[in-house]
Amino acid sequence: MKKIIFIYFFIFSISFAQQKTIEQRVDSVLVLMTLDEKVGQLVQYSGGWDTGTKTSKPKAGHDQLAREGKIGSLLNIFGAEITKNIQKVAVEESRLKIPLIFGLDVIHGFRTTFPVPIAEASSWDPVAVELSARWQAIEATASGIHWTFNPMVDIARDPRWGRIVEGSGEDAYLGSKMAAARVKGYQGDDLSLSNTIVACAKHFAGYGAAEGGRDYNTADFSERTLREIYLPPFKAAVDAGVGTFMAAFNEIGGIPSSASVHLLTNILRDEWKFDGFVVSDWNSIGELIPHGVAKDLKHAGELGFKAGVDMDMEASAYFNHLSQLVTEKKISMQQLDESVRRILRIKFRLGLFDDPFKYCNAEIETQTLRSEKLFKASLDMARRSIVMLKNEKNILPLKKDLRQIAVIGPLAESKNDPLGPWNQQGNPDDVVTVLKGLQNKLGDKSNIVYSEGCSVDGDSKAGFEHALNVVKNSEIVILCLGESLNMSGEARSRATIDLPGVQEDLAREIVKSGKPVIVVLMNGRPLTINFLSENANAILEAWFLGVQSGNAIADVLFGDYNPSGKLPVTFPKHIGQIPMYYNFKNTGRPYNPNDFYTSYYLDYSNTPLYPFGFGLSYSSFEYSDPVLSKKEISKNESLRISVNVINTGQYDGEEIVQLYIRDLVGSATRPIKELKDFAKIFLKAGETKKVEFTVTPEKLKFYDINMNYVVEPGEFKIFVGTNSVDVKEALFSVVD
């Protein structure tokens, strides 16, 4: 025992000494810095004229700023040589030789594109998602990148919002698991390694609550909703050790997030003890002027800095006014030093002071980019991201000897769209289209005939005739419909969420042919696909799966991969039902078909087209009734829940067993159901497995009437099942 204690003490003292060394090294640099050099560390400029462009070079003048120590970071530049050149200027020609930190939106891949984040979230597989982020970091660091502006952890309950594609859907618990997985994947166990990248939890906070789903729009919700819905994934990122945060564009109830002391100081620093740094979003400090809280850029800079934004992305507010604000004593030198310290701390943790060129090895770059391992990793993640929404009469998986397959639709041969938005340096030439994936799978065993039928959003039906002729001579139709990649992502909100253009008209004509129709949907948000849901024989939700899209889809279509994905977001039947999410409140007049005066629509039901957590498999799974370790527990006691899951199908497969709870009576209203755990299990055909969950007091806590985060005694329901609707339930009580 003594030996173990000594070992622990020895390790602790080393790590403490190391940590102490970083803090000492930070202070040893800080003490030498002039006011202008300190301000310089808080300045970030972009190499491109617009965010996320395919730009890789610093702009004219950036060299000189680096030479004068007036810039601390660049974004949107990459490449071993390009980053090396400007880093050399900073660390060899500036007075204090402080290295620059290079940031980039590595959202779902750098050069080898992975599935978009909402697709990866559909895997409900944090291990796989962490591995995906790890591979993305390996590739991006090989091209000189130190810092990704990811994970985007904004909870999104409105599919009109274009950025729903960048996140992990509507639920705080699933979103928290995905946030932690991505932070760990990007940052690894040691930020100082040359293949780890510092992550950035964004956009802090409440960005996904934009009214009307219109990007950048006002968000207005209670402190309770902030704490229960929007903050948990950010806290999960902090607990996972995220090194940076990004402040959001939007206001929350009158206070722009980039000027919010409550968010950036009271919660992030004082409550959560976050010791990394906060970067603004693109000019989000400058936007305090149109928000109407700052009279000019100097005032905006003062508000942003005092709220807790350490680094100014592209607004030039700090570049032009921070020194003056310090001289005028509107900002103290101590406050400035604290921000500089945070930025230097991350640069030290990254090892940039020890070796500023460790990410600039052109040989490693050539060997790493687009490697076979990266393509294989992207394929594995793509398979796990597919959600099967319908499979009437088990028409899927298809046989591999069909005489002729009609491949129809504007997304069947698209090389661009499967990359999805924010694909960074993704290259359409690397994309395996659906058509190519089928050809790869079947070779000459089947005759595969393609016809586009129509464009994604045009109104021309001129291609219908050719498509219908191809269908007429085929045994089966694979119909590839959805959105183009630029219909979701930033500044890409839609006021409708139907299939764009005349795609549904094409589907109607094809269904009339009487041929079996398998729909492959590629989209960045839930769509109101009622006609397809009623009339197609099968539907795969494929989102935008990246470079291996066609191979992953073909693997599922022909049974070489049994689909296991589940929806991370609700699919409404009609846009009028929005906002629609599974963890809604019961209200005082919950819908009752026998009572006119209850909460419902005259023209649509209250139920979704597909619920949160929904997804089919080629297997079928049956659940026993849940067994509770106790019927009654005290407030600080845990409850164990077990359920037997049987694979009653013919295929081996994975099932995501979901655990929800409901607090039946609280001092504040509680959702009718909240996801509190899930387990992804593999079952051979006919196999039974016992799945156990532990409901800890932490999982029963909520913000009570006084906003205290507590467990209240009373009756609770637990629900266990294959999605948020098909569940088995049991009751238990919590006593004082």
Q: Summarize as ranges the residues that interact with ligand GLC (CB under 6 A).
A: 51-52, 75, 105, 149, 202, 281-282, 490
DSSP string over 469-522: HHHHT-SEEEEEEE--GGGSSTT---S--SPPTTHHHHHHHHHHTT--EEEEEE
Plot region of 474 (φ>0 → left; ψ -120 to 50 → alpha; else → beta): beta
Q: 25 Cβ partners below 8 Å, 6+ apart?
A: 348, 353
What's the CA gap between 35 and 25, in Å, rounded?
19
| Cβ burial 277-306 (10 Å sphere, 16+ → b, else e) | bbbbbbbbbbbbbebebbeebbbbbbbbbb
Looking at the Cβ atoms of 281 and 712, the one nearer to ligand GLC is 281
Plot region of 435 (φ>0 → left; ψ -120 to 50 → alpha; else → beta): alpha
Residue 228 DSSP class: I
Looking at the Cβ atoms of 206 and 397, the one nearer to ligand GLC is 206
Q: How far is the CB of 118 from ligand GLC (least distance, A)?
A: 15
Helix (H) or strand (E) holding 447: strand 447-451
Looking at the Cβ atoms of 70 and 492, the one nearer to ligand GLC is 492
Looking at the Cβ atoms of 75 and 643, the one nearer to ligand GLC is 75
For the chain, the residue count is 736
Please count the other Cβ atoms lying within 10 Å of the Cβ belonging to residue 393. 8
Which segments of 172-243 are extended strands (E)? 200-204
Q: 511 Cβ partners below 8 Å, 6+ apart?
A: 517, 535, 536
Looking at the Cβ atoms of 117 and 615, the one nearer to ligand GLC is 117
The answer to whether 352 touches 146, Cβ cutoff 8 Å, is yes
The answer to whether 692 touches 587, Cβ cutoff 8 Å, is no
Looking at the Cβ atoms of 281 and 483, the one nearer to ligand GLC is 281
Residue 143: both structure tokens together: 């091209």
Q: How far is the CB of 493 from ligand GLC (least distance, A)?
A: 13
Looking at the Cβ atoms of 110 and 348, the one nearer to ligand GLC is 110
**HEC string for 616-639:** ECCCCEEECCCEECCCEEECCCCE
- Based on DSSP, count helices (H) and strands (E) in the chain, helices before strands: 22, 27
Residue 435: both structure tokens together: 């058509």
Nearest-5° Cα angle at 377, 375 to 380: 110
Q: How far is the CB of 192 from ligand GLC (least distance, A)?
A: 24
Please count the other Cβ atoms lying within 10 Å of the Cβ belonging to residue 60. 7
Q: Which of 105, 158, 281, 677 is catalytic?
A: 281
Q: How far is the CB of 336 from ligand GLC (least distance, A)?
A: 24
Nearest-5° Cα angle at 391, 389 to 393: 155
Residue 531: both structure tokens together: 């006609």
Q: How far is the CB of 248 from ligand GLC (least distance, A)?
A: 8
Find residue 449's DSSP bridge partners: 406
Looking at the Cβ atoms of 149 and 319, the one nearer to ligand GLC is 149
Q: How far is the CB of 163 from ligand GLC (least distance, A)?
A: 8
The answer to whether 649 touches 633, Cβ cutoff 8 Å, is no
Looking at the Cβ atoms of 149 and 678, the one nearer to ligand GLC is 149
Q: How far is the CB of 549 from ligand GLC (least distance, A)?
A: 24
Q: 605 Cβ partners below 8 Å, 6+ apart?
A: 573
Q: 712 Cβ partners below 8 Å, 6+ apart?
A: 663, 666, 667, 702, 704, 734
> Radius of gyration (Cα) for the chain, nearest Å?
27
Q: How far is the CB of 176 from ligand GLC (least distance, A)?
A: 19
Is there a catalytic annotation at residue 444?
no
Looking at the Cβ atoms of 46 and 562, the one nearer to ligand GLC is 46
The answer to whether 353 touches 90, Cβ cutoff 8 Å, is no
Looking at the Cβ atoms of 279 and 374, the one nearer to ligand GLC is 279
Q: How far is the CB of 54 from ligand GLC (least distance, A)?
A: 12
The closest of 16, 98, 148, 18 to 340, measured between CA atoms, is 98
Alpha carbon distances (Å) from 654 to 114, 396, 647: 21, 16, 9
Q: How far is the CB of 490 from ligand GLC (least distance, A)?
A: 6
User: Coil, helix or strand for 301?
Assistant: helix
Q: How far is the CB of 296 from ligand GLC (least distance, A)?
A: 22
Q: How far is the CB of 315 from ligand GLC (least distance, A)?
A: 12
What's the CA gap between 41 and 433, in Å, rounded?
44
Looking at the Cβ atoms of 421 and 611, the one nearer to ligand GLC is 421
What's the CA gap between 390 and 378, in Å, rounded?
25
Residues marked active site are found at: 281
